[in-house]
Structure 1
Amino acid sequence: MDDATDRTLRALGLHEAPREHPLLYPGAWPAESGLLVGDRFLPLQRLVYEDRTPVFAIGSNGCPGQLRHKMTEFGIGSPLPMVKARVTGVDAGVSAHVSRMGYVSASPVGAPDTVRELFVLWLDAEQLAVIDASEGAPVPGGNFDRAWLPSPDIRIDLADGTRLPGAYAYVNRHGVLHDGTGTPRTHPGERELLTELLVGLPRLRELFGVVPEEFCARARGDRRLCERGTRLFIEEKLVTASGLERYVAASARAQQSGSPGTGASLSPPLT
């Protein structure tokens, strides 16, 4: 991006939020690292921010439109660095729960032989509190735990050659969906995922309709229906572990011991 580039999210095709358009999940990701400032995505001056917390963006948290939606809800407009990284050991699986936002979200899975590009969000305390709350991390009934994924288990290489010592990820408390062999499946995009699930699961069609549009419309905001869909995944024996659960336990022990950088974030109300 040069100085003549229109850096608004709309001009860059990054403005739509899956929270408002569930079938777009996980939303449009930037082509490069950048600084999200309100409605603009600006060039970065550096890739590491020691005074902030690094968090993997696995699903829609890699979409600037989604991040803007979450931050605006709490009146937070501080700049948010999004740094593209080459990551070894983590992939985007499928959450074993139906979200009240109207979609089945992505969830990190352990994948030792997988190398892919992901964004690392460098979050200040307020931003971290918002993302924590959006994932349900601060409450017992939430969908995700925030866990530290350390190097060398997970390798995180930045464009300037920096290798990070680790980053946080949101590990699903429900587990993830498998591919029929017990191996976690990867998230192909919402429309493709819902089409496949609805075709293969008659009981899911009874609850959510026969096409993805119906699924999203019925699921959106209906807590009881989403809970029934989540239970159905278990009853159909589609759920397996993500492979990252041990890091949740390790992060909990570190937090109890007061280790630096592992304390709980602020906890705004769940949305």
Structure 2
Amino acid sequence: MDARDEHLTLEALGLADAPRDHPLRYPGVRPSGSGLLDGDRLLPLDRLAHPGRTPVVAVGSNASPAQLRHKMAESGVSSPVPMVRARVTGIDVGVSAHISRHGYVSASPVGSPGTARQLFVIWLDPEQLATMDATEPNFDRVLLPAPQVRVEQENGEALLGCFAYVNHHGVLHDGSGAPRRHRDQRALIAELLAESVALRELFGGTPEEFCRRARSDAGLRDRGTRLFAQEKRVTVSGLEHLRVR
């Protein structure tokens, strides 16, 4: 590596810890601005739009450079990934109604007219897109509807044809029937455990124990996912009708 780029490494930028390794830090640290993820470096981005690539709105850990780096490296994909900060109106960040193999409860978009969030758009080439689809077995990649959902990159340019990954198990509600909003992972898991005796019996009484048991036992994760539905804690995201890729 060129010594001039040492300050652009994920380690130097404080972006090196992936949620897959630190589940209670999900969704991971996001960059302060747009950049080009190139292996272990986040380089300056010379342009925002990238013809020939597919723009995907990242609502969870796909906006973590460390998580993205792991996903691509595991599949032998080494091409850079443009990451563009954007303002997204019309969706909010809900809670997926399944337990991830990495031990956390992930995020999923929910329809929310008028809500605006600062998110990232990742621009994926065909190989990267296939890799990403393969890493999201609990999600469907859907085309976000314009103008109900508006995606504006940091220069104010509106994007059309953006996709997002929507959990096909549905999302968890907040007790009133409305989608629960994703929050700090430790607080979220503590809240879910406090609300369900059966969930505590499966995963223990603390977020740390929840993550440890979830990471080590696929069958337990499946039982926990089914329990969400059995306890009627699941609702629709409002995006189920969208066209799947």
> Normalised by the shorter chain, which TM-score bucket?
over 0.9
Equivalent residue runs for 1:80-159 within 5 Å: 80-136=81-137, 143-159=138-154
Corresponding residue for 2:204? 209
Matched, 1:178 2:173: yes
Superposed structure 1 runs of 4+ greater than 2 Å apart: none
Distance 1:113 1:233 in 2: 28
Distance 2:58 2:109 in 1: 9
Q: Which runs of 5+ in 1 are unaligned?
A: 137-142, 252-261, 263-271
> Per-residue deviation at 1:4?
7.8
Matched, 1:55 2:56: yes
State the AA in 2 paired with 1:206. E
Q: 2:161 aligns with which of 160, 166, 173?
A: 166
Distance 1:178 1:221 in 2: 27
Distance 2:150 2:102 in 1: 31
Q: Is the 8 A contact 2:105 2:185 kept in 1?
A: yes
State the AA in 1 paired with 2:162. A
TM-score normalised to the size of structure 2?
0.96
> Per-residue deviation at 1:184?
0.4
Q: Is the 8 A contact 2:6 2:12 kept in 1?
A: no
Distance 2:5 2:160 in 1: 36
TM-score normalised to the size of structure 1?
0.87
> Per-residue deviation at 1:5?
7.4
Corresponding residue for 1:32? 33
Matched, 1:42 2:37: no
Corresponding residue for 1:140? none
State the AA in 2 paired with 1:12. L
> Match of 2:94, SS?
strand
State the AA in 1 paired with 2:213. R
Equivalent residue runs for 1:179-258 within 5 Å: 179-247=174-242, 250-251=243-244
Corresponding residue for 1:22? 23
Distance 1:220 1:4 in 2: 35
Aligned CA-pair RMSD: 1.3
Distance 1:213 1:90 in 2: 30
Distance 1:147 1:197 in 2: 28
Q: Is the 8 A contact 1:34 1:82 kept in 2?
A: yes
State the AA in 2 paired with 1:39. D
> Per-residue deviation at 1:150?
2.5
Distance 2:135 2:221 in 1: 16
